[in-house]
Amino acid sequence: MQTKTVINPFESALKNFDLAADVIHLEDNIRNHIRLPERELTVHFPVRLDSGNIISVTGFRVQHSTARGPGKGGIRYHPDVNIDEVRALASWMTWKCAVVGIPFGGAKGGVVIDPKKMSIGELERVTRRFTSEIAFMIGPDKDIPAPDVYTNSQTMAWMMDTYSMISGRTVLGVVTGKPISVGGSQGRNEATAQGTIFTIEKAARKLGIDLNGARVAVQGFGNAGAIAARLIFDLGARIIAVSDSKGGIINLAGLNPTEVSIHKELTGSVVGFKGSDPISNQELLELNCDILIPAALENVITEENAGDIRAKIIAEAANGPVTPEADLILHDKGIFVIPDILANAGGVTVSYFEWVQDNYSFFWKTKDIRNYLREVMDDSFDAVIALSEKHKVHNRTGAYAHAVSKVAEAIRLRGVFP
Ligand code: GLU
């Protein structure tokens, strides 16, 4: 049996940070300071199941940096969540907010549960108790959670309500990604995918690839993957394969992503969709295609399979799908990678718009959100590519160099307390 090396995402995050810190000649004191998160909380709490049994649940909230503003980042529900993964995700939020120039630091949370095995009532009780455990650490001007893997707008409504009950007043701006009727923003649900598609449009134009008829493979069919597939299909691209945690499907003539979503809604997976053939997640990644969108979890493209990737563009809708070792191989092969901290930054960008709207109690139209988002994504893409070309490094190091410089500047200007 082949043993798979376990890759620690926080070590990968630090490797990427160090590459950029070298490129921008970052001074040692700042380098040592921002390698590690500012604040980390681990909580263990009881939750009553529908059966009446009580289980003990572990959760985390990590604030990596608040140098540029309050902490910002999602909460993930997954059985494999661990502190190093949350540290990595929190640091990626710091760099992501800096890349797109929104005034937030980086944070992330995780709860170690298998949400697919829990009822709605159990999920609500987990969410409310977890929120109360981290309540002293979050707040609209302290640290603002949002959805991530296996959490959604309903989760955010429960978090907002719980925090508000504790505070004795309704605090809309404590979380983003809420339903529209309780302070959510137009366009937030599709924001991550929309941002990814805006960056793909820029990359395709740069490389002379016509999106009309381009072959696209999407790994992961959740909020980011399913909506990205639909948006790029609407631009005329051909979705040749998609997958989820249960497996993948392929049809070289093209899949209709809206019909695949309906199938997944009904059956719980994309697998078995009519007119498609089965394919593994691994095979999907190695397909001959123009654009590959990893939209699930970390470490799916490693030094073991990077040499077999045949896409022309990889757009990272997921956080951390490519390891630093794989980056070098992909770069040598001439594959154009749009790194996660740029490609999926549309989500947190519209989270920022939501937070601004909540604080002003004044809500914007869909077209305004879309125009602002496109401007942010286009400008950030140009800045990252310009830096990558200037320093002759791959796009991830260019993106980190851009982000780390901004965070370092904030740290320098703020100075050392006391
Ligand atoms: N979870 C998303 C991300 O990884 C969104 C975070 C947010 O909106 O704060 O970027």
Average confidence (pLDDT) over 204-223? 98
pLDDT tens digits, one per residue of 342-356 = 999 999 999 999 999
pLDDT, position 1 = 42
Check if the beta carbon of residue 237 is closer than 8 Å to that of residue 230: no
Q: What is the DSSP letter of 158?
A: H
Q: Which of 108, 264, 312, 406 is catalytic?
A: 108
DSSP output for 51-76 = TS-EEEEEEEEEEEE-SSSSEEEEEE
Same domain, residue pair 221 and 331: yes
Task: Point out the domain boundary residue: 285, 311, 338.
Answer: 338
For residue 49, give both structure tokens: 């199941």
pLDDT, position 6 = 84
Task: Ligand 1, residue 89: give the atom nearest the CA.
Answer: 4
pLDDT, position 282 = 96
**Cα(105)–Cα(142) distance, integer angstroms:** 10
Same domain, residue pair 200 and 334: yes
Residue 136 lies in a domain: yes
Length of the chain: 418
Check if the beta carbon of residue 122 is closer than 8 Å to that of residue 143: no
Q: 96 C-alpha to center of ligand 1: Å?
A: 9
2: pLDDT confidence band, cut at 50, 70 and 90?
very low
Is pLDDT above 70 for 4? no
Same domain, residue pair 116 and 162: yes
Strands 71-77 and 106-111, bridge-based pairing? parallel
Q: 58 C-alpha to center of ligand 1: Å?
A: 21
Check if the beta carbon of residue 192 is closer than 8 Å to that of residue 317: yes
Task: Ligand 1, residue 148: give the atom nearest the CA.
Answer: 1
Residue 155 lies in a domain: yes
Residue 275 lies in a domain: yes
93: pLDDT confidence band, cut at 50, 70 and 90?
very high
Q: 253 C-alpha to center of ligand 1: Å?
A: 34
Same domain, residue pair 233 and 125: no
The better pLDDT of the pair 308, 3 is held by 308
Same domain, residue pair 204 and 332: yes
Q: Which residue has the tokens 């309903």?
A: 154
Same domain, residue pair 326 and 279: yes
What is the three-class DSSP state of 200?
A: helix
Task: Point out the domain boundary residue: 338, 355, 381.
Answer: 338
Same domain, residue pair 131 and 225: no
Q: What mean pLDDT, rounded, does the chain reach?
A: 97
Residue 309 lies in a domain: yes
Residue 258 lies in a domain: yes
Query: What angle, rounded to 10 degrees, do the helices at 83-99 and 366-391 form?
Result: 100
Per the structure, the count of domains in the chain is 2
Residues within a 6 A CB radius of ligand 1:
72-74, 96, 146, 148, 176-177, 319, 344, 347-348, 351
For residue 255, give both structure tokens: 């899949």
Same domain, residue pair 201 and 322: yes
Residue 45 lies in a domain: yes
Residue 312 lies in a domain: yes
Residue 14 lies in a domain: no
Check if the beta carbon of residue 323 is closer than 8 Å to that of residue 381: no
Residue 108 falls in the annotated catalytic set: yes
Give the CATH number of the domain where residue 307 resides: 3.40.50.720
| % of residues, the chain, pLDDT over 70 | 99
Range of the domain at 110: 38-170
Task: Ligand 1, residue 350: give the atom nearest the CA.
Answer: 8
pLDDT tens digits, one per residue of 371-396 = 999 999 999 999 999 999 999 999 99
pLDDT tens digits, one per residue of 96-133 = 999 999 999 999 999 999 999 999 999 999 999 999 99
pTM: 0.97
**Cα(243)–Cα(278) distance, integer angstroms:** 9
| % of residues, the chain, pLDDT over 90 | 99
Same domain, residue pair 233 and 332: yes
Q: 347 C-alpha to center of ligand 1: Å?
A: 6
Check if the beta carbon of residue 248 is closer than 8 Å to that of residue 242: yes
Same domain, residue pair 135 and 53: yes
Cα–Cα distances in Å, from 363 out to 195, 371, 377? 20, 15, 21
Give the CATH number of the domain where residue 51 resides: 3.40.50.10860
Of 148, 175, 297, the residue with max ligand 1 atoms within 8 A of its CB, to mutate for a pocket test, comes to 148
Same domain, residue pair 102 and 239: no
For residue 30, give both structure tokens: 């700042």
Same domain, residue pair 199 and 284: yes
**Cα(30)–Cα(24) distance, integer angstroms:** 12
Cα–Cα distances in Å, from 340 out to 28, 38, 74, 296, 297? 26, 22, 15, 12, 11
